[in-house]
Structures are given as C-alpha cells and as structure tokens.
Amino acid sequence: MKRPIPNKLVMLVQNSIVALELVFAALLAVHLIYFILSRLQPDKNYSTMATRIHTWWGMFVILCCATLFSPLVSLLSLVVLTFFALREYFAMIKTRKADRRLHLWAYLSIPIQYYWIYTDWYGMFIVFLPIYVFLFLPLPRLLSKGTSGFVRNVSSVQWGLMLMVFGLSHLAYFPFNSPEFGPGLVLYLVVLTQLNDAVHYLASLYVGKRRVVPTANPYLTWEGFAIAFVFTALTSSVICSYLTPFSPRLGLLSGMIISVCGFFGGLTVSALKRDLLTRDDGRPVAAGRSYLSQIDSLTYTSPIFFHLIRFVSDLM
C-alpha cells in the first residue's frame, strides 16, 4: 500500500479531531439513554452497561491523549491503565505472602516493556515478555518456595503479563511506530472494540437466546455475536476512510477481525475470572464491578490489529 500524500495526512488528523468530538457527543447521548432506560425499566439489569460507560469515559481521556498530545503522554496514560488492569487481575489470584515476590517482578516489567516502545526497539518489544520474562520469571519462585503450587502460581502471573501488559502495550506502540497515522489507528481500534462490546451486550440483552458459554459469561449469546459482527464490520468500512488510510475492503476486513478477536478476548478473560474467583468448594466468589471486564477485548484486539497492519501494509 502506498503512503498517502501530505494533504491526505492533514485530512486524517482533522478527521481524528472531529471523530473525538463525535465520540464525546455519543458518550453524552449514551449516558443520557442509560439514565432514562434505567428509570423506565428498573426490572432490567443495566449494571454492566453502567460500569462500561464509566470505563468509556476513561478510555476517552486516553484517546484524547493519544490524538491531541505527544506520543509520550499517550504512553504514560497506558502505563497507568496497564498497572491498574494487572493489579486487579492479581487481586483475584489465590497466593501466599511468599508468592507475592512474583507480582513485584511482574510490576517491574511494565516500565521496561514500555521503555522498548519509547525507544522504538521493536525487536526487544516483541520478545521481552513472551521469551525473556516467560523463561526467567519462574526462577525466583522455584528457588525460594520449591515446587508446591508452582505451575498454578507461575502460569497465572504469566497469563496476566501476556494479556494486561503485552496485549495492551500494543496500543502505545501505534503512535511511536507510525507517528503520522498512529493516533488515528488507536482511535479507530478502540472505538470499534468498545462499539462491538456494547452492541453484543445490548443485542444479547434484548434478542439473545442461545448463550455461548454460560459458565464463563452468561451475557454472551450467539445472536449478540452475529449482530455485533455485522454491525462492527459495516461501521469499520464506513469510518476507515476518515481515521485511517485504509481502503473500504481493508476496513471491512479489519472490522471483522476486531469483532471476532474482541469476542474471544472477552470470553477468555471471563473464563480466567470464573476460574480464579471460584472457591475450593466450587462456589463462585462475587466479583463486583470489574474494571478488567471493560478492557478485556482490547487485550486481544490490540496485538492482532497491530500485527495485521504490519503484515498487510507499510504503515508500521
């Protein structure tokens, strides 16, 4: 794919700012609709939507940082997001006091991973967590506590690092790897991911009949998946020309991939939470309002979309 001419780049920047204004207006409208529906239909459970709306406002701030300010501001915002996501995940894991040393090393890997992004060292960025941290993280646990509970404790930490740190850190790499188009790509990805989640949830709430995996997430249905898939793909093909240099065909493909990956991301994190929040007697522990549940899809869509762009174009 050829790089667009400078006039096209200026237009994309202007479109990104307009898109932020539209997102802000849409968030206000959605918040108002939620407020009205929660009062008119008190019998329906809108708690998930309420938590999701609050998360959208937080994501909107990050989108503004990524679009309006320097990539460094966006990176620091995502460092904070990653830290809180990983902390909530670790709070669900059953660990002894001695096992928390693993958590300390995991937290220390966050600034290192984002440092590779800041220096635009793609080679180290892509192998640091999956290879070096994955192989050497178990050593302190093995030397200090032996083999008791080794697999469960170490693998739980590694899962958290791959999803919350490695997956989400791809969001920060867009502006550094492609200063011209990165902010627009981040806006495009986050809007489509959150839109897909919202449509899936609402469609499942009103027309959903067949649940996908009731034991993992009772809110995900096949009807909701189908409606969200079509809606996200069509929306992507329409907005891609405003936020990205993609053709409508690539925009349609991106929308389909984002929808499917978002679905699997939400399902995977839901399964992890159900397993981690289950007592020894098999009874689940109430999770309450979960911040992690609102960004679970991004842990899958961010890396997949990033490497899709690197594979099919010369933008990254």
> Where exactly are the structural domains of the chain?
6-312
> pLDDT tens digits, residue range 151-181?
888 888 999 999 999 999 998 898 888 877 8
> Percent of the chain at pLDDT above 90?
27
Q: Kindly tell me if the per-residue pLDDT of 257 is higher than 60.
A: yes
Give the tens place of pLDDT for each residue, 69-92: 677 888 888 898 899 889 888 888
199 CB-near residues (< 8 Å, 6+ apart): 224, 227, 228, 231, 232
pLDDT in tens, 98-137: 677 888 889 999 999 999 999 999 999 999 999 999 998 8
Amino acid 207: pLDDT: 87
pLDDT of residue 11: 58
Q: What is the mean pLDDT of residues 46-59?
A: 71
Cα-flanking dihedrals φ and ψ of residue 169, to 5°? -65, -20
Please give the pLDDT value at position 231.
93
User: What residues contact residue 97 under an 8 Å CB cut-off, 6+ apart?
Assistant: none
Q: Kindly state the average pLDDT of the residues 15-41.
A: 75
CA 268 to CA 248: how far, in whole Å?
30
For the chain, what is the mean pLDDT?
81
In the chain, pLDDT over 70 holds for what percent of residues? 80
Report pLDDT for 304. Answer: 95
Greater confidence (52 vs 209) lies with 209
